[in-house]
Amino acid sequence: MAGQRPRIGILTGGGDCPGLNAVIRAVVKASFMRGWDAVGFLNPAQTMELDYKAMGYLLVQGGTILGTSNRGRFAAKTGAGEVHRIPDEILREAKANVDGMGLLGLVCVGGDGSLTIAQQLFEAGVPVVGVPKTIDNDLEATVMTFGFDSAVCCATDALDRLHTTAESHSRVMVLEVMGRHAGWIAISAGISGGGDVILIPEIPFSWEKVCEAVARREKAGKRFTLVVAAEGAKPAGGSLVGRSGGADREMRLGGIGALAAAEIEKRIGKETRVCVLGHLQRGGGPTSFDRLLCTRFGTRAVQLIADKQFGRMVALKPPDTVSVPITEAIGRLKRVTVDGELVGTARALGISFGD
Ligand code: F6P
């Protein structure tokens, strides 16, 4: 590759999330400042040159210009925590590809699944660095993933809106938010948006206790109640609500909100409606907090490549960004601590977890 400027690669994997483009922009601009070029992987076989001059609007643009997928031959997770090893021949192909392109390093932006792949690529000799992404905030080894704040702001805004209609109609409103294994979005938005009942995967609940909380409010003269349910919440002894995601895919969660609404109406006769926030909380641009976090993560990822610190992931450890081995982030999830400060804050306000 004589005469060519040094180049690095970047790819985005897993479910999309606000801020992916902001990370791409930061990586491309920080590379340019070092005299490097950057190339984006649209898929393992297709790339696009990333021109630093075209990066401006990416700071605010949702989604990822590189596209992303949580299925296919590079999927490392298939639900219930099982990790599939990427076949050696595919790993060898990927390494040959990166070597052939003369890349100094490859920035892998993703959550637990994509970073599991990144680690396998690293072990196969690919010079990888990771950037932690997921709206669910359930990745270990970083205080926060990017995209989480944007999702929480979206859910909080939804609660503000549901609040006024719930109060006007004296209804129970149930908001179902994402959060497959961890209830970070539900508890954070629930507290910020004035929720009364918060159902999270970490705390099995009972319908009796949920209804008791609604009835208690009625008795106190509060004729409306806001319930926030993470999609992965389930009653003690009950099962997750959703349907099969198809072969080699995690279960597609959804429906706990509708179930909660039906149970509340059936058990105490209180008029109840449900709103499923769904992919609205994953779409759109990042909040200013996430723009800043993505920019810090992206620039640090480039620094890691410059320092040849491969196999590491950037992470937030306030007040700084740091780096940790990717292995510290994958294979286990960061969940809401049941007796932690956040749950304690909610309980101190009288918020019920239905337990
Ligand atoms: O990645 C996390 C997540 O947001 C989960 O909370 C949710 O279950 C899942 O993505 C939905 O993914 P998909 O868009 O593939 O249905």
Find out whether 172 and 225 touch, Cβ atoms under 8 Å. Answer: yes
- The verdict on residue 49 lying in a domain is yes
- The verdict on residue 20 lying in a domain is yes
- Cα-flanking dihedrals φ and ψ of residue 59, to 5°? -60, -35
Report the nearest-CA residue for atom 1 of ligand 1: 15
Find out whether 228 and 193 touch, Cβ atoms under 8 Å. Answer: yes
How confident is the model over 51-64, as a mean pLDDT?
A: 93
Q: In terms of domains, do 205 and 342 share one?
A: yes
Q: In terms of domains, do 156 and 80 share one?
A: no
136 in contact with ligand 1, CB cutoff 6 A: yes
- Cα-flanking dihedrals φ and ψ of residue 229, to 5°? -120, 125
On the question of pLDDT at 230 being above 60, the answer is yes
- Cα-flanking dihedrals φ and ψ of residue 252, to 5°? -90, 105
Which ligand 1 atom is nearest residue 15's CA? 1
Greater model confidence, 70 or 285: 285
252 in contact with ligand 1, CB cutoff 6 A: yes
How far CA 242 is from CA of 69, 173, 233, 254, 255, in Å, comes to 20, 20, 11, 5, 6
- The verdict on residue 241 lying in a domain is yes
pLDDT classification of 84: cutoffs 50, 70, 90: confident
Greater model confidence, 17 or 250: 17
Burial (0-12, 13-18, 19+ Cβ within 10 Å), 152? buried
On the question of pLDDT at 319 being above 60, the answer is yes
On the question of pLDDT at 2 being above 60, the answer is no
The domain spanning residue 53 has which CATH number?
A: 3.40.50.450
pLDDT classification of 135: cutoffs 50, 70, 90: very high
Distance CA(187)–CA(183), nearest Å, equals 6
Distance CA(353)–CA(231), nearest Å, equals 14
Find out whether 326 and 118 touch, Cβ atoms under 8 Å. Answer: yes
Q: In terms of domains, do 14 and 125 share one?
A: yes
On the question of pLDDT at 327 being above 60, the answer is yes
Q: In terms of domains, do 177 and 100 share one?
A: no
Pocket test for ligand 1, best of 148, 243, 250, 282 (most atoms within 8 A of CB): 282
Q: What integer pLDDT is reported at residue 72 of this predicted model? A: 61
- The verdict on residue 265 lying in a domain is yes
Nearby residues of 258 by Cβ (< 8 Å), 6 or more positions away: 174, 176, 274, 276
Q: In terms of domains, do 253 and 135 share one?
A: no
- The verdict on residue 354 lying in a domain is no
The whole domain housing 275 covers 150-282+337-348
- The verdict on residue 289 lying in a domain is yes
On the question of pLDDT at 82 being above 70, the answer is no
Q: In terms of domains, do 161 and 293 share one?
A: no
Q: In terms of domains, do 182 and 242 share one?
A: yes
Give the whole-number percent of the chain exceeding pLDDT 70: 96
Q: In terms of domains, do 230 and 139 share one?
A: no
Catalytic annotation on 136?
Answer: yes
Q: In terms of domains, do 262 and 290 share one?
A: no
**Amino acid found at 270:** K
How far CA 86 is from CA of 20, 40, 75, 139, 161, in Å, comes to 24, 21, 8, 21, 45
Q: In terms of domains, do 165 and 207 share one?
A: yes
Q: What integer pLDDT is reported at residue 102 of this predicted model? A: 96
Residue 124's Cβ-side half-sphere holds a number of Cα atoms within 13 Å equal to 22
201 in contact with ligand 1, CB cutoff 6 A: no
Q: In terms of domains, do 177 and 193 share one?
A: yes
Give the active site residue among 16, 37, 88, 136: 136
Gap from CA of 182 to ligand 1 centroid (Å): 12
**Amino acid found at 123:** E
Q: What integer pLDDT is reported at residue 223 of this predicted model? A: 97
On the question of pLDDT at 75 being above 70, the answer is no
Distance CA(132)–CA(110), nearest Å, equals 6
Q: In terms of domains, do 157 and 271 share one?
A: yes
Distance CA(322)–CA(142), nearest Å, equals 9
Which spans in the chain are helix H? 20-33, 88-101, 112-123, 148-169, 184-192, 207-219, 256-268, 288-306, 341-348
On the question of pLDDT at 83 being above 80, the answer is no
135 in contact with ligand 1, CB cutoff 6 A: yes
Gap from CA of 339 to ligand 1 centroid (Å): 26
Least confident of 249-258, 279-288, 320-329, 334-343: 249-258
How confident is the model over 105-123, as a mean pLDDT?
A: 96
Q: What pTM did the predictor assign?
A: 0.95
Gap from CA of 337 to ligand 1 centroid (Å): 22
Distance CA(300)–CA(304), nearest Å, equals 6
The domain spanning residue 218 has which CATH number?
A: 3.40.50.460
How confident is the model over 314-323, as a mean pLDDT?
A: 98
**Amino acid found at 95:** K
Q: What integer pLDDT is reported at residue 143 of this predicted model? A: 98
- The verdict on residue 93 lying in a domain is yes
Local structure of residue 323 (DSSP, 8 states):
E
- The verdict on residue 353 lying in a domain is no
Based on the structure, what is the number of domains in the chain? 2
Q: Which of 283, 281, 335, 291 is nearest to 159 (CA)?
A: 281
Gap from CA of 197 to ligand 1 centroid (Å): 23
319 preceded by a cis bond (ω within 30 of 0)? yes
